[in-house]
Structure 1
Amino acid sequence: MRTGLGSGRIIGLSLLLLAAHLAACHEPGNTRSVLAKAAVDADALDFGEVPVGEWREKIVRLRNVGYVPFHALDALGLKGDPSYEIAFEGEGRVMPGSEKLVRVRFHPLAEGPIDETVHVTTDANSGREHTVRVSGQGVPSPIRIHPALLDFETLEVDSERTLRLTITNPGDLPLTVTVKGAAADSFLTDTITVPPLSTQQVETRYLPKDLGDMRAMVEVKPCATCTPTTAELAGRSVASAFVFDPEPVPFDLIPVHERTKSFTRARNITWRPVTIMGLSTNDRAFTPLNPLRALEVQPGEQVDVPLEFAARSSGPNLGMLTVGYESDKPRQSQVILDARGGRPTLAVAPLSLDFGELPVGGKVGRTIRLSNGGSNGNLYFRSVRGTGAAQHFSVDVPMRGTQPYPWMAGTAWPTLGAEDIPIAPGADGLDLTVYFEPKDEGPWQATLVLVSDDLFNPERTIVLTGRARATGPCVYELKPQPMLDFGNVEPGRGAVLGFYFRNPGRAECAVKDIHLSNDGGGAFFMPGGRLAGGVVEYDTAFSAMIAFRPKAPGEFQGELRMTVNNPAYPTVTLPIRGVSLASCLVAAPAYVDFGPIRYDCPAMPRRTLLSNQCATPITLGGVHMGTGTSNQFQQLTPLALPRTLAPGEGVEVEFSYARNVHGQHYTPYFVSADQDPAPLLVPLLAETNHEGLQLDRFIQGTDSQLDVLFVVSNTTTMDTYQARLKAALPGWVERARQQGVDLRLGVTSTGLGARSVCGGPAQGGEAGRLVPVNGSRARAISSTSATAAATVQANIDEVGLCHNLVQGLETMRQGLSSPLATSPDDPRTPLPNDGNLGFLRATARLAVVVVSDEDDHSGFDPESYVQFLQALKGTGMSHRTQLYALVPTDSRCTTAGGPGPRFSTVAQRTGGAVDSICTGDYGPFLDKLLQRAGQPQADFSLSATPNGTAEMSVRVQGTRLPDDQWTYDSARNAVIFDSAAVPTTGQTIEVRYRSACVTTPWTPAP
């Protein structure tokens, strides 16, 4: 029984202890100690920069930090970004102290920041959910392309070459391969994708269809927005494998029946060897001395090509050498054979000067340009002479820029000799001013003969015409009087004053030869140079500057002299005086310049400081306004005199300017100091301009009305290009009819002077006259005529192929200006009715079309022709006249001259267009003229800058338009009509506005 009782006690005790223990487990603190707890070892992962297509891996550890197990349920990315992969070992029991791994792999599919959030779930009592922020940066893949530059070198157009690129893809994304760039159409790859983790050879072909240097690039990238890895593609396409040196091939000038030899070198500039199959020329006067048959020429290799020229006629001769060769197929290279020798040729423009009408005793000058139309060596100008009524004309010394070339001592007009003045080819030239100074009334004509060492044309002639009318004796007013006094001007400095000439009488004043008859040993000069003269009408005036700048201290006397049409007192003189001695008195600034001021704009007062620059006191004894050209200036600062100035002391003097008289004004202000032999000069200078109330007038041209002047070169190499122009005309004229554009067409040549070998009524020297100059066919052709195109074609044939000098800009100017443009007959030629009256229509647009295989040799600066064309239709109408040029622009074909700036510059500056004369079809180029002429003008450029639009008004036919029917475009300085308000043909447009008050700083000549 004890034993049983004892056992029962033990069991009961155990149950009691267990119960107690269980009871203890339900206490709050003890309950927590046995809960399942989950934790992760990081709340953020940063992969940093990873190239697109590569992998990086990081681990998140899920740990059991409790005392009882739990189950890991899931791990996933909340955003689902495909650039991240999350690998979880699967659901499973995690024992206390154990861990489970969550693997996060980053595989960027694009460049830039890529974020994700990893979500981990468990069934633990604590830590059921965890989020881990994940970030990474996709960066460009390190793709390799070799070589970085794939240079296909030089090959002929319409041929091809294949080279290889090696592309290495380091990632597990496929790469796309594309060709980009300006010349992408000329390159092609055989691969568009490169597989992952591979290196591939990519064949790239260059197939040029156009000429010139070409650039493109291969772009390789693993995604559409990824930064591409590139390799540059380069190639050059040429018309043929050979270039020649020299080109053209020069030959000596030789007499008829003689022979001379020359040579050129043909160099293979392409990447592959070629085989010369033979040589030929288009003129039997030229003979290859070595046939060079079946000769292989390596890349970069050159071969000598000897030739012979046998003169079969006198004068220049051009031929063509053709080199036949094999490369990818049979091809040809050509080079010009030049038996002209590039010899210096005297070019003169213009070839006639009409001085208009002057009063007897007047004088007016015109300038001619002498230039060298050759290409090899200097031309030497030797002399000039006058025939006919030469006593009424004269010439100045030749000038190269500002450099004069005196005539040979002992010669006098009408025959003047020169010391062989050189003129280089190209832009060099001499300017020769010719004067008309009639001594008696009536029409006068003379011929000016220019002599040079030009082998073929040693003399060029210029016709001089002018008319003189009788007039009454001139009555004049000349200021200042009794002399022009400069006072004292500090040595080393200069000063400017001026004189004023006015005609208060009823008879016109013919004033000429305005110059310094005594310049005081060079101390006095006219900054603008001597004046030839002009006509001063009743109650009009002119002013000019005279400067004083002595080379050494002293006292100087000079004289201004001019001639007027007053038989009793024909010579007018004005004494000039000046002193240049050291003085303690100094003016700063040394002159007071108000500059150009508008009549209605305020003139701000201006000051100068009079100071003592010596070490001892000086005394100002007096100040006064000297005699000048007007009384427009006033001293505003009163000075109590005498006044002693201590060393360094100064006093400011302020002046005003009345600005109520138009023109330039010069007044001396004199300041006297003790011991100075002459008062100090402070020049007061100003100019009053128009008050700014501007009125611009325009006449609306006829829409779809266009005058076209074809200026066609008549040199010996133009046959191909004249044929292309003729071929384009029928279709172009028909398109003009279909578009409703009314054309008036005329043709002239680039020949300015006659050439005996040309024959015909003008001997190739139309000088701007429309062809045919004898009127044997219509010269101004309307497109309404059924035979318009055929007539223009026949007139182009009339131009011929005989001349040796292109002076198209000058022939254009001659043809469009007086007397040709305004008269039915050219008074300078014996041919009747050879004027161009009736070609230009006042309301029509004008297009000048130049067709020439070399540049212009007119000599004058192209800007002078630009300004001529811009002014031709009147103020504000410059955009109604353009020049278009079909001239050499590149090397796509061989022309008589290379690309030159003169024709192209004028075309571009007038808003026209330029294209290569080598273009096969001229029709598209001519169509540009129709596009410009097909609409009425809606924009009108203003002659001055408006001071805003508040005072601007626009009237059409006198009726003011509402402001909503026009706008002012400040960028173009133009009034632009609304489409519904564009003026109709013949209507007058008036734009009134106040121009801006603008003061332009001006510094007088020293």
Structure 2
Amino acid sequence: MRTGLRGGRIIGLSLLTALLACHEPGNTRSVQAQAAVDADTLDFGDVPVGQWREKQVRLRNVGYVPFHALNALGLEGDPSYEVSFDGEERVMPGEEKLVHVRFHPLSEGPVEETVHVLTDANSGREHTVRVRGQGVPLPIDISPPVLDFETLEVDSERTLRLTISNPVDLPLTVTLEGAAADAFSADTLTVPPLSTREVQAKYLPRSLGDMRAQVKVKACGNCTPTVAELAGRSVPSAFVFEPEPVPFESIPVHERTQSYTRARNITWRPVTIMGLSTSDKSFTPLKSMQRQEVKPGEAVEVPLEFAARFSGPNTGTLTLGYESDKARQSQVVLDASGGRPTLAVAPAALDFGELPVGGKVGKTIRISNGGTTGNLIFRGVRGGGSADHFSVDVPLRGKQAYPWKAGTAWPALGVDDITIAPGTDAIDLTVYFEPKAEGTWQGTLVLMSDDKFTPERTIALTGRARSTGPCVYELKPWPVLDFGNVTPGRGAVLGFSFRNPGRAECAVKDIHLSNDAGGVFYMPGGKLAGGVLPYDTAFSAMIAFRPQAPGEYQGELRLTVNDPANPTVTLPLRGVSQDSCLVAAPAFVDFGPIRYDCSVGRRRTLISNQCAAPIDVRDFQIGAGTSNQYALMTNMALPRTLAPGEGFELEFSYERNVLGQHFSPFFVYATNEPSPLLVPLLAETNHEGLQLDRFIQGTNSQLDVLFVVANTTTMDTYQARLKAAIPGWLERARQAGVDVRVGVTSTGLAARASACGGVTAGGEGGRLVPVDGSRSRAISSAATTAAETVQANIDDVGLCHNLVQGLETMRQALSSPLATSADDPRTPLPNDGNLGFLRSTARLAVVVLSDEDDHSGFDAESYVQFLQAIKGTGMAHRTQLYALVPTDNRCTTAGPPGPRFSTVAQRTNGAVGSICQGDYGSFLDKLLQRADRPQADFTLGATPNGMAEMSVRVAGVKLPADQWTYDPAHNAVVFQPAAVPTPGQTIEVRYRSACPAPPPAP
């Protein structure tokens, strides 16, 4: 009854509550259970893989009656999250219950989850909370971060240790990766959670070289690893030798010499030398070194002796046996051949003899590499003793100078390293004696190099100085060396002479240009050290003027003489560069070297008007030069008016009765031109029988060819033969690697208007065809249509003229204004100049095709001299004329065989062929034979009187007689293939000559 009563009371209360609720709805809602959470999103941010982070969701009772928290769980079941609370629990009004959410990322990247919270509350029965977090790389401690096994022998091993600490409750995996991973191994593949492991890493190389690998440790498959570097180097043996090979000096047979090498242990562990042996009994170790320990990085000296048992090179092997992880050996080559780089100097002493105080004389020593393998490094010089009375010039390799290092000064001079190869390579060093006081002076010159045995060589320097009276001298020209006018872009050479007319000797030194006007003036032979001139002796030297732009230029030559009161002598230099209507062809008159007892022919030049208007020549004269050896042999009334293109030839003689070089300017004055045109006069008189021919080697495989084709009415057959030969000839040029440039002009000098049409009426006057520029006029053999274009240009020559003046049209084509201008100013036609045809570096061949001889009027020798001068001084061998002309009666031609074309061809070392031959291809191939390689044959200027006194020098070095021959049939020096001079080198041939026969009368 009591239990039922209690139950009835409860039911009654419920009914009462229900009844009250029916009548008061607002009050009923206020006593319902209400649940709420404090967040609908949880963000854990970045958490390293394997680490834990926790956040809470607060479940609160915001109503007035209790409810029960029934459950909390992750709906997506991601193992990276744990959700928990303390089980089912009653939550009273105003209380809260914590739902624990823990984040434990198992991989890198974003991880999301949904937490579901369930209650029995009337309101807020279910709640959903979005949860997110980012798994990021786990920092793992690996110590050390780099494990260097250093150097060890191949097929040996070394073990080192590293420590890996695992800070999380996930296992860590350990892998080895990298290019040389096979050479490394580790004894640990997994590091358990929350532990530290010592990992033994082993390096066992099976091949040689530097090797790299990585230990990579990570907490999951896609996790970013923490990396430790593994490094090792494998070598064939523990020792390297310094030097290697071991060099021995060259010694006579039966003598002995000693050398050494250092054996350095380059591995990580100490090793023990067990013994030394050699492969040849000529080599003997001087120490046994048995059981000697060598620590890592330590070097021990190994002395050796070589006993020369036979002549010539001798090599052997030193074997060093040692113990490391096992018995091993190292070997080094023993070289007793003397082939290593060796500083060689000749001569070993310099005696400058006796000079007057204030004089200067130089002698050259040659520095070479006496070895046979490897370059020697030359590093500079040092002076000692009475060094104030001596000096040194810059080192030279041929013409290439190596300046002394900035900031150094005699007597200690350094250079940036100069390498000297074995064999013929060498450095020349000129040493000067320039005494400042009377007495006997001795000094030393020390040459420094990287020669291991003899890094320094000492040259003894001796000289004596005497007092002398002040120099009395005569300097010509005086008071100025005047070049007159030289047009821009061209050059001219004159010179000076210094003579001692007094009784006291003259000591002259330091002859140089103290002002070269920015390089416009220069000495072609370079500065001169000086010398001593006894009474009534002289010397001379060239000075060149090459202006590139219009203007007036001033320079200065300076030298020093033994005159204490006036030691410095200067000669002003003056030159003007401006365009001129006057032009000389050739631009200089060169008699060349001549024996004083031989006759000499006269030389000519053509002075013409290259402008479109007449010009008055009002005067000409030989100006102040070094002597009065020249004379003008042409008588002409002045002033003389020259029409456009008109000219006159001047002829000069040379007396040849004063020994030495002679330079004189010839000036041509024209109205309205403020400065006279310069034509240099050049010659050299030698002693009886002594001849010196100079040549300069040119560029090979470049050939400019000017075809001068007769345009007379009988030339149709011969022009057709030339056209037929062109394609095959150009193809053979391409196969031979010869870069050919072709131009074509006619033998028509003046127009023949009554019979010839076209813009020139048959009178091209040296202009390349087609004169109107309707197709290419200077044709490169590289052009795909080269043959067709040349053939078309030969067609343009035509068949209408009646006068062959091929030598003069050739001279006009190759001289100013045509050769130097895009437009001929003397004609109304535009762009009819020949600029772009001639290349300064190319050989030049003129090919004349004519069925009769030349009628130009001027002597054939004038055209020979023009062609010999066109490439400049010393380059006459670079230009030839080839003539296809009547030579016999094999066919009927417009004229009989004549001397003019043939003479010029023979005098320029070209060739003469019959115009009657059916195929011109073989004749044209003669041009290619001289152009497809560096020139090996050089025709002499006189006939040698035997071979006994002939010598040949290239770049100043005398060549052995087995490197050249003399060809009497062609009067030429011919170089052997291995000795052919290279482009730019100077060739000098000295010989005793016979006087030539007098030149034929014009």
TM category, shorter: 0.3 to 0.5
Normalised by the length of structure 1, the TM-score is 0.39
Computing the radius of gyration over CA atoms, which structure comes out larger, 1 or 2?
2
